[in-house]
Amino acid sequence: MSKRITKERINLRFNLLTLLVYIAGLILIMQLFNMQIVHGEEYREQSNTRLTRESTLEATRGEIVDRSGNVLATVRTSYSVELYKTNIEANELNQAILNLVNVLEKNEEKYIDTFPIKINPFEFTISDNALEKWKQTYKFNTDITAEEAFYKFKDKYDIQNEDITEVRKIISIRYAITTQGYSNTKSIKIAQDIKQETLAELSERNNEFAGINIITDSVRTYTQGSLASHIIGYTGKITKEAYEQNPEVYNADDIVGKTGIESVFEEYLRGEDGEKQIDMTVDGATTAEYVTKEAVAGSSIVLTIDANLQRITENALESNIHKIANGGFADRLNTECGSAVVMKVDTGEILAMASYPNFEPQKFVGNISTEDWNNYINDSRKPLWNRAIQSSYAPGSIFKMVTSVAGLETGVITLNEKINDTGIYKYSNDYQPKCWIYNTAHRGHGYLNVSGAIKNSCNYFFYEVGNRLGIDRLSQYAGYFGLGQRTGIELTGEVAGIVASKEAKGKVSSASWQGGETLSAAIGQSYNSFTPLQIAKYISVLLNGGKQVNPTIVKSVMNADGSEVSKVAIRDHVNEELGITPKQDPDFEIKQEYLTAILEGMRSVTSETGGTAYSMFKDFNIEVGGKTGSAQAGGDVVNAWFVGFAPYDEPEIVVVVMVEKGSHGTYTAEVAREIMAEYFGMNSINVDENVNAIPYTEMTRN
C-alpha cells in the first residue's frame, strides 16, 4: 500500500515538472515571437543605433610632499574633451570639428595640434631631418612645398571649406586622429583642463559636436611655483615610443613624468586606471554611464627636503649670484649660475638642493607652449639643468682635506711636521707653481702644519704633500670619499665626475702622466671634476671619520591604502630606473688625531683672523667649520666654492655652495651663513652688509 502511494506521488511530481517546462517553453516562444515578429523592426533599429564603449577612469596622480607633509605637487579636478568615432559623413565630421575648435579658440583654450604646417605664409614647422621622415611617411616628393602638402591633406580629409584658416583648424584635429587613431570604442583627447564657461557651452550645444564626450580629469598642480623644480621635475605627454613599449599600461595621450622625482617614481605616482562603460548612439549621444572598474590613486612620495629651508636656500643662492654680478663684493662679474646642497651628516638626507636658474614646472602641464619651450632651451644659462648633480666642476681648494687625509694616513707627513712655504714651489726647472699669496704679497706663508695649511689654504704645502704621495695614492683616497662616482641619488641625470688619475688622462690623451700634474691635482685642479652633491658626501664622510653615507632625497613612499613601500623595494626600483649597479662603498678609518687636526684647520677658516671665511662668520652665534675654494675653469674663468658644517663640535648639517664664475670662495660663504641661520633658528640674524667693504688683499683666491 505504501509503495503504491509513493509511486503515485512520484508520477504526480513528474507530471507537474513536465507541465512547468512546457509552460516555460511557451513563454519563451511568445517572447521570441514578440521580439522578432511583433517588435522586431523596433529592436533592430535600437541595436543599430546603440554602442557600448569602454572609457578610462584616470587614476589620481600621487602627491609629492616635503618631510613635514607640505604639499609640493598635487592634482586638481578638471574637465577634458575627448572625441570618439561616429557613424557620420566626412563633411559632418569636419563641421563638428570646426564648431568645436571655434568654441575652444573663443574661450582661449589649448587644443591638440601637431600638424607641421602653418599658414600665412605656408611653411613647415619641423626640423629638416624630421621633415624628410615626415614626407616619406606620407609618400610625398622630397621637393613638395608646404602649400602643396597642405592642400593634399585638405583633399585627404575631404574638407569642402575654402577659408584656409578654417581648413587649418579642421586639419589639426583630423591629423591628430590620423597619427593617434580613434574608433567607436577608443577616444582621442582634444583639449584638457577646459574652463567652466567652455564646459557649459559644449554641454548646451551638445548636438553640434558629434562624438564629443566631456570627462572628469585631473591636472598636475605645483603648489609652490618654481620651488624645488629640479628635484620634483615636470610631467608631459607620453612619447609615441614610450606608449608603444607599454600599451597595456598607458594610453596614447597619457601624461607621464619626464624629469626628477616625477620621472623616477612614475610607476608609483601614476596609480592604476579604472574603467567606465558608456552607452552611446551611433551619432555620438551618451545615453548611460557606469563604472566597471574603480581606479586606484597613485602613491605619495615623501621627500627628505624641508620646504622652508629649500626656499631660503634658493633665495640666498639667487641673491648671492646677483650680488656678485653687480659688484657687491668687488668688481662686477659675469656671474649667472650656481647651486647649493644642504645634507644631514649622519643620514645623507638632503634637506635642500638648489640650482639657479630654475624653472616653472606648471608650464609643462598638458603641453608646454612652443614659446616657453624655446625660451628654456635657448637660454644660455640652461635653467632646466640641475647643476647640483648634472654639472661637475674642478673643486679647487675644497679638495685639500682629501690630500691632508691621504698624506697623514700614508705617513708622508706627520701632524707635527711644518713645511716652509717660500712662495714658489721649485718642482723642476720648467715648472715652478706659485702659492696664491705670492701673487699678491710676493712672499709665502712660512712654516705651516696641516691645520695651518688648511686655514690659509696654502697651495705650496699641498704641492709638497701631493709630490710625496704620487697620483696613484692621491686618487685612491679621493675614491674613498665617493668622488668621481655617482652617489645614487634618486634623480635623473646625475653624472659621475672625474678623479684626476693616469686612467683619466689616458681617456683624453696618449701622453704619459707628469709629476707636475700631481701637484695640480693635490690642490683640486688637473682632471678633478665633481658635482656639488659629491662634495657634500665627501665632507660628510670626512666628518664621520671615514664612515660612508649615501645621499638620499626620498624619505618614504606611501600607497593610497596607507601602507608604506619598503626601503629595499624603493632602492631596487631606483637602481633599475637609473641603471645603477648596487654596491656599498666600504668604510675606512681616519685616525681621530688626524681628523681633529684637519677639522681644526676648517674651524680656523671661519673662526680665526686670517681665515678665508672669517669675515662672514666672525659674529655668528654657532661655531662653524668650513673651507673656501676658487677653481680655475679655463681662461680667466674662476668658479667659487664654499663647504661648511655646523655645529662644529657635533656636526648636524653640511652645506655646499658653488657659484659659476664667482671668483672668490669667500663670496659664496654668505649663502651658507643664511642657510645655517635658518636651520638653527636664527632668522633675525642677517648677513653683515659691511662685508662689501672687505679689501681685496684680505680676500684669497681660495
540-549 pLDDT, tens digit each: 999 999 999 9
Closest CA to 81 of 184, 186, 170, 189: 189
What domains can be seen in the chain, in order of their start residue? Answer: 49-85+182-303+557-571 (3.90.1310.10), 89-178 (no CATH), 307-357+590-698 (3.30.450.330), 396-556+572-578 (3.40.710.10)
Per-residue pLDDT reduced to its tens digit, 605-639: 999 998 999 999 999 999 999 999 999 998 889 99
Query: For residue 685, what pLDDT is reported?
Result: 42
Q: Concatenated DSSP letters for 568-631?
A: HHHHHHHHHHHTPPP--PPP-PPPHHHHHHHHHHHHHHHHSTT-TTHHHHTT-SS--EEEEEEE
Which three three-digit cell numbers place residue 444? 709665502
CB–CB of 119/165 below 8 Å? Answer: yes
Nearest-10 crossing angle of helices 532-543, 592-607:
120
Query: For residue 437, what pLDDT is reported?
Result: 94
The helix or strand, by DSSP H or E, that contains position 133, with its residue range, turns out to be helix 128-137
Whether 339 has a pLDDT exceeding 70, the answer reads yes
Which three three-digit cell numbers place residue 441? 704679497
DSSP state of 399: G
Percentage of the chain exceeding pLDDT 70: 88
Backbone angles phi, psi at 393, to 5 degrees: -140, 155
Indicate the pLDDT class of residue 694, thresholds 50, 70 and 90.
very low
* Residues forming beta bridges with residue 76, ordered by sequence position: 219
Terminal Cα-to-Cα distance of the chain (whole angstroms):
121
Question: Kindly report the CA angle at 106 between 105 and 109, in degrees rounded to 5?
Answer: 45
Indicate the pLDDT class of residue 23, thresholds 50, 70 and 90.
low
- List the strands of the sheet with 625-632, edge to edge: 350-356, 338-344, 653-659, 638-646, 625-632
pTM of structure: 0.81
Query: For residue 690, what pLDDT is reported?
Result: 39
Query: For residue 700, what pLDDT is reported?
Result: 42
For 197, residues 6+ apart whose C-beta sits below 8 A from its C-beta are 107
For 558, residues 6+ apart whose C-beta sits below 8 A from its C-beta are 299, 300, 302, 564, 565
C-alpha to C-alpha distance for 608 and 455, rounded to whole angstroms: 9
DSSP state of 491: S
Indicate the pLDDT class of residue 12, thresholds 50, 70 and 90.
low
The gap from C-alpha 38 to its chain's centroid, in whole angstroms, comes to: 66
Per-residue pLDDT reduced to its tens digit, 625-682: 999 999 999 888 999 999 999 999 999 999 999 999 999 999 999 999 999 999 999 8
Query: For residue 41, what pLDDT is reported?
Result: 55
77 three-state secondary structure: strand
Indicate the pLDDT class of residue 51, thresholds 50, 70 and 90.
low
* Residues forming beta bridges with residue 156, ordered by sequence position: none
Whether 98 has a pLDDT exceeding 80, the answer reads yes
Whether 56 has a pLDDT exceeding 70, the answer reads yes
Per-residue pLDDT reduced to its tens digit, 115-169: 999 999 999 999 899 999 999 999 999 999 999 999 999 999 999 999 999 999 9
C-alpha to C-alpha distance for 362 and 72, rounded to whole angstroms: 12
Taking all residues of the chain, what is their mean pLDDT, rounded to a whole number? 89
Whether 382 has a pLDDT exceeding 70, the answer reads yes
Query: For residue 22, what pLDDT is reported?
Result: 62
Whether 364 has a pLDDT exceeding 60, the answer reads yes
Amino acid at 234: Y
Per-residue pLDDT reduced to its tens digit, 229-242: 999 999 998 888 88
Query: For residue 265, what pLDDT is reported?
Result: 98
For 641, residues 6+ apart whose C-beta sits below 8 A from its C-beta are 393, 395, 396, 397, 398, 535, 628, 629, 630, 631, 656, 657, 658, 665, 668
Which three three-digit cell numbers place residue 77? 579636478
Query: For residue 687, what pLDDT is reported?
Result: 42
The helix or strand, by DSSP H or E, that contains position 169, with its residue range, turns out to be helix 164-180
Nearest-10 crossing angle of helices 400-410, 459-469:
50
Q: Concatenated DSSP letters for 176-227?
A: HHHHH---SS--EEEE-S--HHHHHHHHHTGGGSTTEEEEEEEEEEETTTTT
C-alpha to C-alpha distance for 266 and 275, rounded to whole angstroms: 20
Closest CA to 224 of 305, 300, 150, 164: 305
255 three-state secondary structure: strand
Query: For residue 14, what pLDDT is reported?
Result: 55
Which three three-digit cell numbers place residue 219? 591636472
Percentage of the chain exceeding pLDDT 90: 71
Whether 683 has a pLDDT exceeding 90, the answer reads no
> For the chain, how big is the Rg over CA atoms in Å?
35
C-alpha to C-alpha distance for 33 and 37, rounded to whole angstroms: 5
Query: For residue 702, what pLDDT is reported?
Result: 57
Query: For residue 618, what pLDDT is reported?
Result: 92
C-alpha to C-alpha distance for 197 and 185, rounded to whole angstroms: 28
Indicate the pLDDT class of residue 243, thresholds 50, 70 and 90.
confident
Per-residue pLDDT reduced to its tens digit, 419-433: 999 999 999 888 999
Range of weakest confidence among 337-346, 357-366, 593-602: 357-366
509 three-state secondary structure: coil
The helix or strand, by DSSP H or E, that contains position 389, with its residue range, turns out to be helix 387-390
Which three three-digit cell numbers place residue 12? 504526480
Indicate the pLDDT class of residue 565, thresholds 50, 70 and 90.
very high
Per-residue pLDDT reduced to its tens digit, 204-215: 888 788 888 888
C-alpha to C-alpha distance for 123 and 132, rounded to whole angstroms: 14
Per-residue pLDDT reduced to its tens digit, 167-201: 999 999 999 988 887 776 677 889 888 899 999 99
Q: Which residue has the higher pLDDT, 377 or 34?
A: 377
Query: For residue 701, what pLDDT is reported?
Result: 44
Average pLDDT over residues 35-60: 61
